[in-house]
Structure 1
Amino acid sequence: MRIVIAGASGLIGTHMSATFRTAGHEVISLVRREPSAATETRWDPARGELDPGVLAGADAVVNLSGAGIGDRPWTRTRVAELYSSRVDSTRTLAKAMHKLDVPPATFLSQSGSNYYGDAGNTVLRENSPAGSAILSRLCLEWEEAAARAPHGVRVVTPRTGVVFSRSGGALGKLLPLMRLGVGGPLGDGRQYWPWVTLPDVSAAFLFLLESEISGPVNLCAPEQADVDTIVAALARALHRPAVFRVPAPVLRLLMRDLAEELLLSSVRMEPGVLSAAGFHWQHPTLAAAAGWVAGKD
């Protein structure tokens, strides 16, 4: 397949591009700077600029665009940037598809597990309602923008959970502390995080590209776990203690809404669509995922 990827330079995009190429697919990356390789093409999603010809002949478009959720404090300007970097880029891609006589057959547009908001212990499936928090509304608009793709295009919106990697990503700040033996649970630790390893994210996108699945897809591992359990598993794999709990009031004081929605909210998500379709996880259990993060395979 010929696959055009927006957001290919990030942690997930870099790994995913390599996975697609290893599987024998051609990958074209959309970049905001001047292209530095024949496999790159410039676009300006903020201004809605993308040459439709770039998508001509493509079998699929994968949209991973978006400013980092936890990179900076959530000022009003930053929240606006989180929205625009996702929604505007998605609209730009959909608009370009509409200008083609034969648009790409498949549009995989990233969404997030934050779609559901803080749902406590409720098991969340793809038909569960959206939440009302900032990130919930963002994910809802993000998915609605993807749905503007031309009629006949198969649209898939993977609601990706907390991505585990060996460096950077969701564990980027926690892992170094845990390796030093000074990490620990966040808040009361009973909130659920819908976790998934980076290799399984790339493999799931490849699976979705090659399937006939459409609509929202919960992208997380099948084993559900709360923060206490996740931190304990990582600590065991790293052979380090994890006793320095950070209380919720401290997180709220330091990070405000960012702490509430990213660290303290509980999203007990179930990957129903992927499981039913026969997707096989490389790291289906927390023990396997923690071992991979620790570099044991």
Structure 2
Amino acid sequence: MQILLTGGTGFLGSALCALLLNEGHQLTIISRKPQVIFTRYGGKVRGLRRLTDLTVNDYFDAVINLAGEGIADQPWTQQRKLALYTSRVNLTEELVDWMRRVKKRPQVLLSASAIGWYGNQSHEILDEDSHPHDEYTHQLCKDWEKSALAAEQLGVRVCVLRTGVVLGRHGGMLKKLLPVFGFHLGGRLGDGQQWFSWIALQDYLSAVLFLMTNPKTHGVFNLTAPQPVTNSDFTNELAHLLHRKAFLSVPSIVLRILMGEMSVLLLGGQRVLPSRLLDAGFSFRLPSLQKALKVELALG
């Protein structure tokens, strides 16, 4: 397949790019540094600097839209919120506008979102039919998803990837936690009872390929493992597998003072299930946290 990928140089995009190339697909990546793309993949991948470099004659069987500034990379100032919005919503709108003008439209658009769509919902079990708690992360994800779903009006099949925390050794949250736990500084956040909905990198990649190649799938899909855990359970499991102690804890008030509004990412939570993905016939290879961590950390 001919595939267009945005966000192809991040943690998830890089892993997905390697998998797609291994599967024999032809890739074009939108990147601010197309020369890096060319060098990294030995000329096997076409790199474009911006969406406006696409023409009406370009055709792709599938478009995978993963672009977006890191939600937890910087404090949520008004300027940062604008960057989070434009890098997600505005870019997706530009992508759909290009689809509107091309001579031949793609068959499918897979567009990123996040389980932040649900907002902070303590212990309630959530699936794709659940109602959100109206807060900043919900508003951001709602507009992000709306901009992608607009492609359905063009006859393009759309799958929204409402993604949890992706666990992989070489990126994301797990990479940041490993040195902390390595120095016996790991511990629960707040009371540790907030729910943590995660997915192993292997299963995330498999789910993206499953949705891309299954023409009967469309709409919103939770990309989370079927066995969410609490923050405390996650902390204890990771410490156990690394043979490290995790007796420290960070009080909620400290996180709120240090992080402000962004502290909801650590103190809030969602107990999310991948109902529509399972109903579509997808099988998780790493449904339990212990098994996922063992595989992703190469612990046998």
| TM-score class, shorter | over 0.9
Q: Which residue of 2 aligns with 1:98?
A: 100
Give the letter aligned to residue 237 of structure 2. Answer: A
Q: Quick check: 1:218 aligned with 2:229?
A: no
Q: Which residue of 2 aligns with 1:258?
A: 262
CA contact (8 A) 1:194 1:267 kept: yes
Q: CA deviation at 1:66?
A: 0.3
Q: Which residue of 2 aligns with 1:19?
A: 19
Write the distance in 2 (CA, Å) between the matches of 1:173 and 1:187.
Answer: 19
Which aligned segments of 4 or more residues in structure 1 are displaced greater than 6 angstroms? none
Deviations 1:39-74 (A, max 9, x none): 2332435xxx342347x3310000000001111111
Q: Which residue of 1 aligns with 2:162?
A: 159
Q: Quick check: 1:71 aligned with 2:73?
A: yes
Give the letter aligned to residue 165 of structure 2. Answer: V
Give the letter aligned to residue 96 of structure 1. Answer: W
Q: Which residue of 2 aligns with 1:61?
A: 63
**Identity over the aligned pairs, expressed in percent?**
36
Aligned length, in residue pairs: 292
Q: CA deviation at 1:154?
A: 0.3
Q: Quick check: 1:177 aligned with 2:186?
A: no
Give the letter aligned to residue 22 of structure 1. Answer: N
Deviations 1:107-163 (A, max 9, x none): 000000000001111111111123311111000000011012142100111100011
**What is the TM-score when the length of structure 2 is the normalising length?**
0.93
Q: CA deviation at 1:181?
A: 1.5
Q: Quick check: 1:120 aligned with 2:126?
A: no
Q: Which residue of 2 aligns with 1:234?
A: 238
Q: CA deviation at 1:34?
A: 4.4
Q: 1:287 to 1:34 in 2, by over 3 A?
A: closer
CA contact (8 A) 1:165 1:293 kept: yes
CA contact (8 A) 1:109 1:158 kept: yes
Give the letter aligned to residue 233 of structure 1. Answer: E
Q: Which runs of 5+ in 2 are unaligned?
A: none
Deviations 1:67-120 (A, max 9, x none): 011111111100110011001110111000001232001000000000000111
Q: Which residue of 2 aligns with 1:41?
A: 47
Cα root mean square deviation, aligned: 1.5
**What is the TM-score when the length of structure 1 is the normalising length?**
0.94
